[in-house]
């Protein structure tokens, strides 16, 4: 046995707790479990109906030495597990955000430059009004890139902008993500006009979900949810010929954008 049952259980607990703390997708989007780790596709349940979605598997391999695996204390093993799980959370977040962004059909202009407080608030309220038309009237969630978070956090009357803007727009969850704005194509476009850059994604909700608590919320009422077939966990591949053990940190699932009308993207040129 490469890892004792006790050590393996401890490592899996570390994977799950680290993923919960590091993943924006885990904190912001409700999930449901398919109940079948071997499932290859899942119903889209989208409006309008679409083809089933494939289950995608994400894993990050790493190695530990036999000394680290069998040490009297698990510190060395858990340190590597936490480091790799953090990267897994980042990869999952990028995939989830890109999938949501690709399904957005409702876009609005990002804040005008130079920024004005009234303009920022008006744009957030208009985005809020759009998701309310689709029935998502509970406090909303937004994903922003770093520069947009700086825009939203500038002082307004001596207070942080997030304290001023988010309340009137009924936003109770804000998550900073990277790569939100990277809509640039792999091949330069024939025209010199720059493509639209996604700067903020406004996610409507029907449930009142606190910041970071979406994983335990019911997914049925929300416009976006995660179908999970394999929870974040540790996979033991086997030993090598150089006194190390091959391991994987893995997760499998699909992003279901069931109602695009519940999502709004703010884009800039």
Is residue 220 included in any domain, yes or no? no
Residues 63 and 138 in one domain: no
Q: Quick one: pLDDT at residue 157?
A: 86
Q: Whose structure tokens read 């799950």?
A: 16
Residues 90 and 26 in one domain: yes
| Residue 190: pLDDT over 80 | no
Is residue 219 included in any domain, yes or no? no
Residues 98 and 229 in one domain: yes
Residues 89 and 138 in one domain: no
Task: Report whether 142 contacts 171 (CB < 8 A).
Answer: yes
Mean pLDDT of the chain: 90
Q: Quick one: pLDDT at residue 243?
A: 84
The count of structural domains within the chain is: 2
pLDDT single digits (tens) 213-264: 999 999 999 999 999 999 999 999 988 878 899 999 999 999 999 999 999 9
Residues 98 and 231 in one domain: yes
Is residue 47 included in any domain, yes or no? yes
Is residue 92 included in any domain, yes or no? yes
Task: Report whether 90 contacts 22 (CB < 8 A).
Answer: yes
> Which structural domain range is residue 30 located in?
5-102+225-256
Cα(177)–Cα(222) distance, integer angstroms = 20
Task: Report whether 241 contacts 205 (CB < 8 A).
Answer: no
| Residue 184: pLDDT over 70 | no
What b-and-e string marks burial along 19-57, b requiring 16 or more CB atoms within 10 Å of the CB?
Answer: beebbbbbbbbbbeebeeeebeebebbbeeeeeebebee
* CA 218 to mean position of chain CA atoms: 17
| Residue 193: pLDDT over 80 | no
Residues 133 and 207 in one domain: yes
Is residue 56 included in any domain, yes or no? yes
Say if residue 48 is preceded by a cis peptide, omega within 30 of 0: yes
Q: State the average pLDDT over residues 195-218.
A: 92
Cα(89)–Cα(21) distance, integer angstroms = 9
Residues 114 and 193 in one domain: yes
Residues 81 and 116 in one domain: no
CATH number at residue 87: 3.30.2400.20
Residues 54 and 142 in one domain: no
Question: What is the share, in percent, of the chain residues with pLDDT greater than 90?
Answer: 77
Residues 238 and 178 in one domain: no
| 182 — pLDDT class (breaks 50, 70, 90) | low
Residues 163 and 192 in one domain: yes
pTM of the full predicted structure? 0.90
pLDDT single digits (tens) 142-180: 999 998 999 999 989 889 999 999 999 999 999 999 878
Residues 194 and 142 in one domain: yes
Is residue 218 included in any domain, yes or no? no
Q: Quick one: pLDDT at residue 135?
A: 96
CATH number at residue 187: 3.30.2320.10
């Amino acid at each position: 046995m490469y890892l004792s049952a006790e050590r393996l259980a401890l490592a899996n607990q570390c994977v799950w707790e680290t993923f919960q703390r590091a993943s924006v997708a885990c904190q912001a989007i409700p999930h449901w479990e398919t109940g079948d780790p071997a499932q290859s596709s899942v119903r889209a349940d989208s409006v309008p109906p679409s083809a089933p979605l494939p289950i995608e598997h994400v894993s990050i391999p790493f190695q530990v030495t036999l000394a680290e695996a069998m040490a009297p204390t698990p510190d060395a093993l858990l340190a590597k597990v936490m480091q790799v799980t953090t990267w897994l959370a980042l990869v999952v977040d990028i995939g989830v955000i890109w999938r949501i962004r690709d399904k957005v059909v409702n876009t609005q202009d990002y804040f005008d430059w130079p920024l004005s407080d009234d303009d920022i608030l008006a744009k957030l309220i208009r985005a809020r009004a759009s998701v309310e038309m689709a029935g998502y009237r509970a406090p909303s969630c937004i994903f922003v890139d770093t520069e947009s978070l700086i825009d939203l956090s500038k002082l307004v009357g001596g207070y942080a902008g997030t304290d001023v803007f988010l309340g009137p727009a009924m936003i109770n969850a804000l998550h900073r993500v990277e790569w939100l704005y990277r809509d640039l194509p792999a091949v330069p476009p024939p025209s010199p006009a720059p493509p639209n850059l996604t700067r903020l994604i406004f996610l409507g909700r029907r449930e009142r979900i606190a910041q970071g608590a979406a994983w335990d919320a019911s997914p049925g009422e929300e416009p976006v949810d995660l179908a999970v077939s394999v929870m974040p966990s540790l996979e033991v591949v086997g030993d090598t010929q150089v006194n190390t053990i091959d391991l994987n940190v893995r997760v499998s699932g699909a992003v279901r954008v069931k109602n695009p009308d519940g999502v709004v993207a703010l884009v800039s040129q």
